[in-house]
Every structure is written in C-alpha cells, then in structure tokens.
C-alpha cells in the first residue's frame, strides 16, 4: 500500500543542480533498493499551466504544487520534482517537470527545457504528454515544439528505450476519440518524420522508440465529477505497469532500484555537459559503480563477521577442523547477499564484481588458510618424529623402511588435513604444495639425521663388542709377552674383526646403506681394532719399567722350577742376571711397537735391544749411542713405521738405564747373600788349628778321659749341648754370617736352654707313652716356632 512520509523532493532545482542526497534519502524512504527492477518512473511534459500538476495530484495522490486558479497562469513548479505515487503497485515514482514553453524563462531557456526533457526521457518509463484537446490537428499547436524537442533529444540516447508516450488530451470535446486519435497519431508521425535523424536512425520507425498511447480527460474545472471518474479509470492503467502487457511492459535499459539515485545523477551530469547519453554504456557504468559498492559493503561485513573472527583467531592458534567448509559457508553467505543486491545490474559487470568480491575476500582469508596449513604441516612433522622415534626405538632392523612408512603416513594425514582445509572458492588458486614440499624436506632431513645418529650408535656398539672381544686377550698377551705375542694378537684381531663386521653388515641391512656407505662403516669398524690394540699396548708401554723389573725379578728370583731362588755358592749370579735382563729386554721388544701387519718383514727391534745387554757386559755401562752402528742410536726402529712405534729407541735406552739402576740393588743383594753363604760354611777353625789344638791339649784331654768322674759329666754336657744345638738350629742362624748369627742366637739361647730342661723334667715324671707323645708335641711346637721365625 501507499507509503506515507515520503514528501515531494526537488530533484533538480531551477539552477540545474541535482540534489542527490535528497534523492538517496527519498529512495531509502520508499525502499527502492528492495524493489530491484520492479518499479516504474512516470514523468509529465506539457505547456505551462496546462494542469499538469493538477493531473498528477489527482492521478497519483501526489502533492505537487498547483497554480492557484485565482492568481493567473504563472510558473509554479520550478525544476524537477519527485514523489511517490500513492496506492500504485509496484512502486511508481512520479516526476513533475517545469513547463516546456514557460513564459518566465523565455526563449533562452530552451536549453534547460531540452535538458529536462531529455532527462525525463532517459529516466522515465512512461511520459505523459499533456495537451489541449483543441490543439489536435492544429498547425500552430503548442505541443508541436515540445514533441519536436522530445524526438530530437531521443536520438541522443543512442538506443531506443521503448518509452511509453501517453498523450493526455485535456478538456475533451464532444468529438469522439475514434476521430481524434488518428488525427493525433498522424500529427505525431508527421513531427517524427520531420525531425532530423542521425544516419543509423534514418529509417527507424517511431514505434521502435515509443509506444504511443492516447487518453482524454474532461475539463477538471467544469466537469469535475466526470474528470474524477476518468482519472480513476486512468489510475488503473498504472497498476502493474511494468509487468508484461502493462503500460510500460516492454521498457528497456532499466536500472535496478539501488542504482537509481546514482544513475539519475550521472545522467543529469552527462545531459548538463551537453554530451550525448550512451544508455548502454551508462547502464554498465552504473552497474560497475553499484556492484563495486555492494561488493565493498559485503567485504566490510565479512571483516566484521563474528564467525569469521573466531575462525581467524583459531587459525592462528592451531589446527582448525573443517576450516575449508566453514570458510566456504561464510563466503557463500556474503556472495549470496551480493547476488541478491546486485542481481539486476548488467550481468557482465555483476559477475566481474562478484569475482572481485570473492578474490578480495580470499585475499583477506588467505593468511588464516596459510596459517592452518602451516599448523597442519608442523603437526604432521611432529607426529612423524614421534612415531619414528617410537618405531625406531623398538626396532632398528627395518630403520629405513620404518622411516618410509612413517613419512608416508604423515604425508597422508597432511593431505587429508589439506583437503579438510581447502576452501572450495579458492580451490584453483590456493594449494598446499609448497607446504607439502617443505614437510617432505623436513621429514627427510629429520630421518637422515636420526639415521646418522643410529648408524653412529650401531657402529659404536659393534666397536664396543670388538673391544670386549679383543681388549682383554690382547692385554693378557702383551702382559705375558711371549715370543709369538704379535702373531697371536693378529690372529685374534682378524678373527674377531671378521665376526664383528659380519654381524654389523647384517645389522646395517635395515638402514639400506649404499655400497660406499656400508664399505666405509665396515672399514671404520675394522680399523678400530687397531685403535684397541694400540690403546692396550700404550697401557703396557706406560708401565714398561715396572713390567721389565717384574720380568727381571721373576727370572732372577726364581729357579727353573719357578721356586724362589736360595742363593748358593754354585749359583752364577752374572749369568742369571744376564738371562733375566735378556728376558726383560725381550719383553720390552714385544711392546715397543704395534705389529699388526701380517705382511710386514721381521723387524730387528729385539736384536737392537739385546745389544744393551752385551754392551753392559763389556764395560758395565751402556755406551749412549757413541758408535754409528748402534741400532739404538736411531730415532726410529728399522722396519717399523713411525705410526706403529710406541717407544722410540731413545726412550728404550732411557728405560734401560732406569731399569738397570733399579735392579742394581737386587743383584748386589744376591751377591751379598752368596758371599755370606760362603763365610757361613767356614765357621769351624781351619784344620791346622784343630791339629795344633789336639797336639797341645793332648795331656788335658787324656786327663779328662782317664778321670772316671769327668767322663760321665762330659758325656751329659755333650748330650745337653747337642740338644741345644738342634733346638737352636745354629746353621740357619749363621747363614748370613757370624755377627748376625751371634746376635740372633743371643736372644734365643736362654729360652731354648730353659725349654730343653723343662722337656727333660717332663719326660722324667710322665709315663713312658705319655713321655713319647709329649716329646713329639714339643718337637712339633718347636718346628712351628721355627717356621714362624722363618716368615
Ligand atoms: N481548463 C482547464 N483548466 C484546468 C484544468 N486542470 C487544472 N486547470 C487549471 O489550470 C491552472 C494551472 O494548473 P496547474 O496544475 O498548476 O498547471 P501546470 O502549470 O501545468 O502544472 C489552474 O488554475 C487549474 O485550475 C483542466 O482540466 N481544464
Ligand atoms: Mg505544475
């Protein structure tokens, strides 16, 4: 129904200014933008004071100013006025124009009249031509110049709009319409024919440009009742005027309601600049501007959209499930709003601006999309790392294939996430391939570094095994240093290395190494055996001096049966010393260098070292490389590579000096013991002294022997002395010479005598068996005591 509160506005004032703001307000008030194409514009032209405003007000319920009948025929409506028709559906806008032959403006103002005529033709779907009935068929009719103007300006619109020209004949006479109408149409046709037309429209018929309709009204002032009836009838023709078959059913180049204010203003501008009005171009221009405006409005709404804001925030923070679908539906919401609002504009423009809207919106959304994809990529990488860690921890056997499986799984889940994130509107432009490539690169790098780490670990594990298998036996061999120590070491090393490399080669299979890689690792591990042997040998050489002394003492201090040697007169200390030294040097010879190469020629280290012994024999001291032929004078060993050398000849010489100095005491001790032994055996006086004693003491001896009392006393004294002798074991005490023997005996003499007497007393009082037992036990006790003293 009719819209209240939309009063008439002045669209163009008498100075030719267009009031766009008023128009925008007006359009808002009548909700024109909601009408789309479903609205009509009606304009009226005709001579000044021909009752135009009166007609519009009666026909459409508008309130345009009318001339007061009492004030005379003066110009009332200045410029162009606009109001909405009451009670007409669809929305119909009515334009009241200043008269085209107004007396006030005079002849000079034709320009404004022409301009306003052109404007109403460009804008209106229906143009009412108000004319007096008596003007029909008249050569000097007042509407003739008007029609001429209309037809002339029409040509400037470039293309026909099929405007409906409704002739309203005022103050109709009794002459019936059937007679008047053909005359009028004939007049119109004549004017059309007379109008100068541009080349392309030379033969274009009037009907191409206009629908001509005719109606007649009675005199309003005289036959008001009749007038009103006719008006009511006419009003009906304006209902549904834009529907097919309606008054303006075949109009063309309609601008959608939302573009009307802009379009009207632009038209007026072009008309005022006196340019020709290219309607199709104008339509495209209006569509472009309006569609762009709508697109921007939608973009602004999108930026403020709560759902989108939430989604954007979530995308920054992590993974967003269903991102693609959510974004798509938000986008859909705004594109369909756009579609609804821009639906009636030029299709080409509309589609282009729709694409613009989508591309701008996508540009706004892309950072969030990128962030989600990047989050998915990070997530996939983390998952890959975790799974690989877990899988590889439990099993190294299939390392490379595990890496492959884990990376395939991570990629599949990433791809799935990308599909989930994919926004259908951007399917052709956004693609996660860069992120995917980066993910693949990162996974490869991680897999590679883990593989290197694992391989290193595997290598060191097997090196440790090799060390466990080889280290101890090598140490033992170097410790005992037999003649064939090195050949045994070589054999051991070779067999263990073989075992280890074989095992390692099997373990390596899971890593799918290249031929070169496998070779390098196996070579490294087999080379490691040398490091182990070198380490062990180094340990030995570090204590070479101790080892030499041990070896020396072992041989020097023990006899052939490995029993501790008791130095006797018949021991050749010099010879034993030499052989002990030779043994020590031979031992040294074993540890001075690594001899792991089975193909290396026999070296002369031992011979060179043994020269030290013979040198020492010659003059009791080493000659520190005084002769050039001395093999120990060199800084290297002949036949041994520098890297195999553990002790240089010079170091050996210095060791030898130290060794000799430190074993000196042991040898001198042995010599001293031997000397003491020699003296110990000569404790009886020499035979000549015994002979002299027998000769000189013969008398005394005989006197004693002959005396019957002395003899038993001497006998008992002898027995006692013998017992004490046995108890004391004098021979042992005098083993190290007379003086130490005497000192030793002096402390034991008295207790021994006492013990002997006690033994005798006990034997005398006990029974014969007990006596025998006690004598045995006392012997055992004394033996134990001796053993104690021995220690
Ligand atoms: N003869 C005649 N006069 C009319 C008619 N309608 C209005 N008038 C008078 O014409 C004069 C001008 O009316 P107006 O509507 O202001 O004319 P406009 O200048 O064309 O808008 C007024 O005095 C009206 O009373 C009509 O149907 N016949
Ligand atoms: Mg008027």
Q: How far apart are the first and last CA of the chain?
A: 139
Q: Is residue 59 part of a domain?
A: yes
Joined tokens for residue 695: 């000769």
- Best of 8, 48, 51, 69 for a ligand 1 pocket test (most atoms within 8 Å of beta carbon): 51
Kindly list the distances between the CA atom of residue 416 and the CA atoms of 328, 434, 446, 619, 669, in Å, as whole numbers in the listed order. 17, 16, 22, 94, 92
Residue whose entry in the numeric block shows the structure tokens 């037999």: 482
Residues in the chain: 791
Cα angle value 40/45/49 (rounded, 5°): 130
- How many Cβ atoms from other residues are within 10 Å of residue 627's Cβ? 8
Domain assignment present for 448: no
| 49 marked as binding residue | yes
Out of 277, 302, 334, pick the residue that ends a domain: 277
The series of mean pLDDT values per 10 residues for the chain, 791 residues long, is 64 88 93 90 88 92 78 62 92 82 45 80 90 83 77 73 91 88 90 84 86 92 91 93 88 88 90 76 87 93 94 88 92 93 88 93 93 93 90 76 91 93 89 93 93 89 90 88 87 90 89 90 88 88 90 87 82 86 88 84 82 63 49 80 87 89 88 81 72 85 78 81 75 64 75 77 62 46 42 40
- Kindly state whether residues 250 and 290 are assigned to the same domain: no
In this structure, the number of other CB atoms found within 10 A of the CB of residue 464 comes to: 13
Q: Is 88 domain-assigned?
A: yes
Atom of ligand 1 nearest to the CA of 130: 20
Q: How many domains does the chain have?
A: 5
Say whether both 111 and 170 belong to one domain.
yes
Task: Examine residue 3 and state whether it is found in any structural domain, yes or no.
Answer: no
Residues 22 and 6: their CA atoms lie apart, in Å, by 11
Cβ-in-10-Å burial (0-12, 13-18, 19+) of 97 comes to buried
Instruction: Please tell me whether residues 537 and 594 are part of one structural domain.
Output: no
For the CA of 81, the nearest ligand: 2
Protein residue closest via CA to atom 9 of ligand 1: 51
- Same domain for 408 and 511, yes or no, is no
- Cα 688 to Cα 693: distance, rounded to the nearest angstrom: 8
With vertex at residue 111, the alpha carbon angle to CA 106 and CA 115, rounded to the nearest 5 degrees, is: 125
Is 3 assigned a ligand-binding role in the annotation? no
* Residue at 436 is within a domain: no
Residue 617 Cα to ligand 1 middle (Å): 162
Looking at the domain assignment, is residue 239 inside a domain? yes
Distances (CA, A) of 715 to 704, 709, 755: 11, 10, 20
Cα separation, 788 vs 791, in Å, equals 5
pTM of the model: 0.62
State in Å: Cα 171 to ligand 2 middle.
Answer: 17
Query: Which stretches of 429-490 are assigned E, i.e. beta strand?
Result: none
pLDDT at 781: 44
Q: Give the SS3 label for residue 94.
A: strand
Strands 80-84 and 92-97: antiparallel
The dihedral over CA atoms of 678, 681, 682, 683, expressed in degrees to the nearest 10, equals 130
Residue 388 lies in a domain: yes
Q: Are residues 247 and 302 in the same domain?
A: no
For residue 52, the CA-to-ligand 2 centroid distance in Å is 5
Q: Kindly give the distance from the C-alpha atom of residue 105 to the centroid of ligand 2, in angstroms, as a whole number.
A: 15
The domain of 746 spans: 692-790
Co-location of 420 and 364 in the same domain: yes
Are 116 and 214 members of one domain? yes
d(CA 748, CA 750): 6
Q: Quick one: 641 and 723 in the same domain?
A: no
Predicted pLDDT of residue 369: 93
Q: What gap in Å lies between CA 603 and CA 610, rounded to an integer?
A: 13
Report the pocket of ligand 1 as residue ranges, CB < 6 Å. 48-54, 66-67, 69, 76-77, 99, 170-171, 219-221
Q: Is 259 found in the same domain as 290?
A: no
Residue 1: inside a domain, yes or no?
A: no
Are 421 and 373 contacting, i.e. CB atoms less than 8 angstroms apart? yes
For a ligand 1 pocket test, name from 65, 66, 218 the mutation site with the most ligand atoms within 8 angstroms of its C-beta.
66
- The per-residue pLDDT for 66 is 81
| φ and ψ of 44, to 5 deg | -130, 135
| Residue 162 DSSP label | -
Give the residue from 488, 520, 542 where a domain finishes. Answer: 542
pLDDT at 625: 43
Say if residue 314 is in the same domain as residue 405: yes
Is the preceding peptide bond at 618 cis, omega within 30 degrees of 0? no
Residue nearest to atom 28 of ligand 1 (CA): 219
Residues 205 and 248 in one domain: yes
- Ligand 2 centroid – CA 61 distance (Å): 14
- Which pLDDT score is estimated for 737? 61
Q: Which of 542, 570, 586 is the last residue of a domain?
A: 542
Check whether 52 is labelled as a binding-site residue: yes
Together in a domain, 517 and 555: no
CATH of the domain at 235: 3.40.50.300
């Amino acid at each position: 129904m009719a819209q209240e509160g939309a009063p008439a506005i002045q669209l163009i004032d008498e100075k030719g200014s267009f009031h766009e703001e008023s128009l925008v307000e007006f359009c808002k008030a009548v909700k024109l933008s909601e009408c789309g194409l479903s609205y009509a514009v009606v304009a009226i032209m005709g001579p000044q004071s021909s009752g135009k405003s009166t007609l519009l007000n009666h026909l459409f319920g508008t309130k345009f100013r009318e001339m007061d009948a009492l004030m005379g025929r003066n110009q009332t409506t200045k410029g162009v006025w606009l109001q909405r028709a009451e009670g007409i559906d669809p929305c119909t806008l009515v334009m009241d124009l200043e008269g085209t032959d107004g007396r006030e403006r005079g002849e000079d103002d034709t320009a404004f009249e022409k301009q306003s005529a052109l404007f109403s033709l460009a804008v209106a779907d229906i143009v009412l031509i108000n004319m007096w009935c008596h003007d029909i068929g008249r050569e000097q009719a007042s509407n003739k110049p008007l029609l001429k103007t209309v037809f002339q300006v029409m040509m400037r619109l470039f293309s026909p709009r099929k405007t409906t020209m409704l002739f309203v004949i005022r103050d109709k006479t009794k002459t019936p319409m059937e007679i008047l109408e053909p005359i009028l149409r004939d007049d119109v046709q004549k004017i059309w024919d007379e109008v100068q037309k541009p080349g392309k429209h030379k033969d274009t018929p009037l009907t191409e440009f206009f629908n001509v309709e005719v109606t007649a009204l009675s005199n309003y002032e005289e036959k008001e009742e009749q007038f009103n009836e006719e008006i009511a009838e006419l009003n009906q023709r304006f209902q549904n005027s834009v529907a097919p078959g309606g008054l303006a059913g075949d109009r063309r180049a309609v601008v959608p309601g939302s573009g009307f204010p802009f379009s009207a203003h632009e038209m007026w501008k072009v008309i005022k600049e006196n340019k020709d009005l290219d309607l199709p171009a104008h339509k495209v221009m209006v569509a472009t501007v309006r569609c762009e405006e709508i697109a921007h409005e939608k973009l602004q709404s999108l930026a403020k959209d709560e759902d989108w804001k939430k989604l954007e925030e979530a995308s920054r923070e992590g993974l967003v499930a269903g991102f693609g679908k959510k974004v798509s539906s938000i986008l859909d919401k705004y594109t369909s709003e756009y579609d609804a609002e821009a639906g009636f504009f030029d299709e080409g423009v509309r589609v282009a601006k729709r694409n613009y809207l989508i591309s701008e919106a996508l540009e706004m959304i892309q950072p969030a999309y990128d962030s989600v994809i990047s989050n998915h990529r990070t997530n996939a990488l983390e998952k890959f790392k975790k799974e690989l860690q877990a899988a590889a921890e439990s099993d190294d056997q299939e390392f490379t294939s595990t890496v492959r499986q884990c990376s395939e799984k991570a990629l599949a889940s990433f791809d799935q996430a990308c599909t989930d994130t994919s926004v259908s509107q951007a399917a052709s432009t956004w693609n996660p391939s860069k992120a995917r490539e980066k993910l693949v690169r990162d996974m490869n790098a991680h897999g590679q570094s883990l593989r290197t780490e694992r391989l290193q670990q595997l290598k060191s594990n097997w090196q440790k095994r090799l060390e466990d298998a080889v280290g101890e036996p090598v140490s033992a061999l170097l410790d005992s240093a037999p003649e064939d120590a090195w050949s045994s070491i070589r054999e051991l090393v070779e067999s263990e290395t073989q075992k280890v490399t074989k095992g390692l080669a099997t373990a390596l299979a899971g890593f799918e190494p290249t031929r070169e890689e496998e070779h390098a690792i196996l070579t490294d591990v087999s080379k490691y055996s040398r490091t182990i042997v070198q380490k062990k040998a180094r340990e030995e050489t570090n204590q070479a001096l101790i080892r030499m002394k041990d070896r020396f003492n072992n041989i020097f201090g023990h006899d052939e049966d490995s029993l501790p040697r008791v130095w006797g007169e018949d021991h050749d200390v010099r010879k034993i010393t030499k052989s002990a030294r030779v043994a020590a040097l031979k031992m040294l010879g074993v540890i001075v260098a690594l001899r792991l190469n089975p193909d290396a020629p026999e070296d002369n280290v031992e011979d060179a070292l043994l020269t030290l012994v013979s040198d020492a024999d010659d003059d009791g001291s080493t000659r520190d490389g005084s002769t050039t032929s001395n093999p120990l004078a060199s800084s290297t060993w002949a036949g041994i590579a520098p890297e195999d050398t553990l002790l240089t000849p010079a170091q050996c010489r210095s060791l030898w000096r130290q060794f000799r100095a430190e074993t000196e005491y042991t040898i001198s001790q042995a010599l001293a013991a031997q000397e003491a032994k020699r003296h110990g055996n000569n404790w009886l006086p020499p035979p000549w002294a015994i002979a002299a004693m027998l000769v000189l003491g013969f008398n005394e001896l005989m006197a004693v022997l002959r005396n019957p009392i002395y003899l038993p006393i001497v006998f008992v004294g002898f027995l006692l002395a013998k017992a004490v002798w046995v108890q004391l074991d004098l021979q042992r005490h005098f083993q190290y010479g007379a003086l130490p023997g005497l000192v030793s005996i002096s402390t034991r003499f008295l207790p021994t005598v006492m013990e002997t007497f006690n033994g005798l007393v006990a034997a005398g009082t006990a029974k014969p068996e007990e006596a025998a037992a006690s004598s045995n036990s006392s012997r055992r006790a004394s033996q134990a005591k001796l053993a104690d003293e021995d220690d």
